[in-house]
Amino acid sequence: MARTPTALLSPADQERRRALRTMKGVALGALIGMAVVFVVAFAFQNEVEWLQYVRAAAEGGMVGALADWFAVTALFRHPLGLPIPHTAIIPRRKDEIGAQLGEFVETNFLEGDVVRTKLESTPLSARAGAWLAQPAHADRVAAEGATVASSILRALSDDDVQGLIEDLAREHLLSPDWGPSVGGWLERVVESGAHHGAVDLALDNIATWLGNNREQFQGLVSRRLPSWVPGLALRLVDDTVYREAVGFVDAVRADPGHPARDTIDGYLARLADNLQHDPGTMMRLEEAKAAVFDSPRVRRLAAEAWNTAKAGLLTALADPNSSLRRRASSALAEIGVRLGRDETLQKRVDGWITDAAVFLVGRYRHDIASIITDTVERWDAEETTEKIELMVGRDLQYIRLNGTIVGALAGLVIFTVAHLVFG
């Protein structure tokens, strides 16, 4: 079987390979030692009677060593390259072993009661809270979350996002009729008098504009009068119109019961009623709404808003000192402190985690266990054999060594008993 070059192995596997070679050398040395002792004892047993016992022990040791060498080797390859039946078990039954291992894990570990018992005995939220309460750990979680969020934002297609925003806007803004809802809202505003503040604000702005733009009234009316009217009369007309406008606005501002305010209230009340019941008014509102949302300029503004928001988020996520990152770290640390102190919250969170884990295990246990089966099936037979041999091969060499010792003791006992019985 071809061996993986040492340079391609992990440091742990390289250490396992060195330990395996050492133990193979020890087991082989024990076999060779028994063979040497057997030869010497066999050659001189007639001259030295007690060497018969040594020969029997060495003979049993060699038999035990060879038998265990055959058994251990048969797990991984054909002994001496001979296709002996029931040898090279692991490479020949690799897929079956993987399936059985996956079934074993699924049956004995991925079981709802096992998972629940283990999780209920582990204070998950308390440990997580104590860990998260440390600022360094909160910063780390915030940094990892920022990295994930940045990756998601970069992966998103701007066109797709804008299309999604447009679809959502059409579904939730354009498709529903605005008339009844806007009319009902306006009706409640008028009934409660909440619009009076808006009216006062509008009057204040009008008064300010009139005070700052008197020249705008020059010729406003006079240019429409006949040319034979004297200039003094024209200026008088314009001044009169301006003073009347200023006086009217001031009067309305000063008198909460002014007829103009009642007129505004009446108009808003009629508008609210028409928006709810008049088809013509509702149609005009829908047409205005469609004209606004279908405007190319509005679409460009939406695209620019998304691009600006995306760029701002990416900048804030990338900067450890940004307010977003600092607030995220602070919030995570506060969550950690609360998790570490609030036993009620701990029980609630532990319950959520346990229920979620049991649900996932119950529904996907076979899929989870199939990872083992599928992974082993993808492995090359020789690679699988080498992996398993590196993991357990060193311990199996102890079996060879123990077989040598036990075989020697068994041979000595058998020979001794036979000698005592038969002479």
Last residue of a domain, one of 264, 295, 326: 295
- The verdict on residue 150 lying in a domain is no
CA distance 29 to 36: 10
Q: Is the per-residue pLDDT at 221 higher than 80?
A: no
Q: Which of 52-66, 125-139, 350-364, 385-399 has the lowest mean pLDDT?
A: 385-399
Residue range of the domain that includes 275: 178-295
Q: Highest mean pLDDT range out of 8-22, 177-191, 337-351?
A: 337-351
Residues 304 and 162: their CA atoms lie apart, in Å, by 10
Average of per-residue pLDDT across 413-421: 90
Flag whether pLDDT at 225 surpasses 60.
no
Lowest mean pLDDT among 106-115, 162-171, 351-360: 162-171
pLDDT score, position 120: 87
Q: Where are the alpha helices (DSSP H) in 255-342?
A: 259-277, 279-293, 296-318, 323-341
Which pLDDT band, with edges at 50, 70 and 90, does 119 fall under?
A: confident
Q: Which position has the higher pLDDT, 232 or 407?
A: 407
CA-wise closest residue to 367 among 102, 40, 72: 102
Confidence (pLDDT) at 109: 83
| pLDDT at site 390 | 84
Domain end residue (candidates: 267, 295, 323) = 295
Give domain status of residue 3, yes or no: no
133 in any annotated domain: no
Residue 13 has pLDDT above 70, yes or no: yes
Would residue 99 count as lying in a domain? no
pLDDT in the model for residue 172: 65
Note whether 337 and 130 are within 8 A (CB): no
pLDDT in tens, 341-383: 888 988 999 999 999 998 988 888 888 888 888 888 887 788 7
Q: Is residue 371 part of a domain?
A: no
For residues 305 and 296, what is the distance between their CA atoms, to the nearest angstrom?
Answer: 14
Q: What single-letter amino acid sits at 33?
A: G
Q: What is the pLDDT of residue 380?
A: 79
Please check whether residue 45 lies inside any domain of the structure.
yes
Quote the CA–CA distance of 58 and 408 in Å, as a whole number. Answer: 6
The pLDDT of residue 55: 93
Is residue 9's pLDDT more than 90?
Answer: no
- Name the residue among 329, 353, 405, 420 with its Cα closest to residue 62: 405
* Average pLDDT along the chain: 84
Count of domains forming the chain? 2
Read off the pLDDT band of 29 (50, 70, 90): very high
Domain boundary among 251, 276, 295: 295
Biggest alpha carbon distance in the chain? 164
What pLDDT is stored for residue 136 in this prediction?
A: 92
Average the pLDDT over each of 81-95, 243-257, 267-281 and give the range with the smallest value: 81-95
- Whether 276 is in a domain gets the answer yes
